[in-house]
Each structure stands twice: as structure tokens, then as C-alpha cells.
Amino acid sequence: MPGPTRRSATLAGGVIAAALLTAPVSAPPAEAGTCAASTTCPTTVTFTVTAPDSLTISVPNGPVNIGSNTPGNQITGQLGTVTVSDQRAALTATWTATVSATSFTTGTGTAAETIPASSVAYWSGPATATTGTGTFVPGQANAAAAVTLDQPRTAFSKTTGSGDNSASWNPTLIVTIPAQAVAGLYTGTINHQVA
């Protein structure tokens, strides 16, 4: 019976053709660029520079004893090295370090046993060390520019530059002892921060 055989063969051929048309076509593998002779043939390359994203300030371990004197006189001494470290790898790597102080007290901290922060002056002096690029600016270049610490003051700053950097300075404290101050070991804190 030749009729059914021809129809079966035709049907089978149609199924095979349809399967071939719907089969996924694999993309050819990626190839390197091909360039004509004597022309530049570029390959794009990428990499990432990472940064800890940290801006920190370090100060001397206390207590720091800056000396002694009598009521009505001054005590002058250096605090020790203060360092700002900027590891942000920023395009605009600027920062400002500020400083303030608490009152200094002895005994039970009565009025006669307290030297207020307004009697404590500070001057940063120039940088003792720097790394990186940009402009580093002392808050107070010399003793004539000393400022009292009864409010936050600029201790040091970086106003231009990019990338990682650091700056160190050794500030000087000047304590004016009130005439009514009593004898004793006075304790307070000098507070630095950076932003």
C-alpha cells in the first residue's frame, strides 16, 4: 500500500525540518580584535584601586605633664606629636582638625581648685612631617597666634590636594595660672578631632 507510506515519509520530513528550525543557535566564541597591518589594535583593560576609606587622628598617650609654676604666672609646654592620617584616596582630599579643652581641676574641683579652659592657650606650630600632595596649613604658626581653648579652634588643616596624605605637628600649651589658684596637681583634657 504505497499511499500511506508516502504520507508517513512526508510527515516525518516535516517534523525534522521544524525541529531544525526551532533548535537554539550557539553564538560563535568571542574573538580578539582583528586589525589591518600597521594600524593600532586596542584591548580595553580595567582594574580597581581600593582604599580603607579612613580619616583618623592620633594624639599622645596621657597623662602629659607640661611643668609647674606659681599663681599669677604661666606654664608653657609641648603636648607631643598629633597626626592626621587620610587614607581615603579621595579626589579632593581636604580636612580640618580642631582642638578644645576642658577645665583643669585639683582636689574636689571647687572654684579655687579650677583653672578654666579660657586660661589655656594653644598654638600648633608648623608641620613636623607631611606625606602626599596639597597644601597643609597650621592653625597657629607661632606663639603670637595662640588661641584659648574655651571653644573649638582649628588646629591644622589641608586645603588642597588629592590621594592619601598625612600631617604631624607638636602643639604648645600655655596655661595662665589664676592668682587665686590653690596648689595641687591639676588635670584636664585637650580634645582633638578631624573631619
pLDDT along the chain (195 residues), means of 10: 47 44 52 84 87 92 96 98 97 98 97 97 98 98 98 98 98 97 97 98
- At residue 149, the pLDDT reads 98
Distance CA 67, CA 77 (A): 7
- At residue 51, the pLDDT reads 80
- At residue 17, the pLDDT reads 44
Using DSSP's 3-state secondary structure scheme, residue 4 falls into helix
Please, are residues 63 and 187 in contact by the beta-carbon 8 Å criterion?
Answer: yes
Q: Which residue has the cell 581653648?
A: 149
What's the number of CA atoms in the CB half-sphere (13 Å) around residue 61? 0
- At residue 3, the pLDDT reads 52
- At residue 6, the pLDDT reads 46
